[in-house]
Amino acid sequence: MKTVKLRNAQKHCSNWDSGNCMGVMLSSKEGELRVFLDSKKENKPCTADTECKYYDNIIKKIIDSL
């Protein structure tokens, strides 16, 4: 059974792929947007219900703004 966070990730996270994470992460430094693959997350089960900075920093803000 999915937790609320996993259901939110399924609904709102662009990295969600049938329960796994695609691992595409975003960061910014000195005004420059960086996109990179996180090998620790790529093709592994979504960790929104335990620890995911992408969820906390991006998905949660999207949900809060709805």
Footprint on this chain of ligand SF4 (rule: CB under 6 A) = 9, 13, 15-16, 21, 41, 46-48, 52, 54-55, 59
Nearest residue to ligand SF4, by Cβ distance, number only: 21
Nearer to ligand SF4, 29 or 40 (CB): 40
Write down the least CB distance from residue 30 to ligand SF4, Å.
24
Which helix (H) or strand (E) is 8 found in, with range?
helix 4-12
Cβ 23 vs Cβ 65: under 8 Å: no
CB proximity list for 39: less than 8 A, separation 6 or greater: 23
* Min CB(31)–ligand SF4 separation in Å: 23
Burial of 54 (0-12, 13-18, 19+ CB in 10 A): buried
CB of 59 to ligand SF4, least distance (A): 6
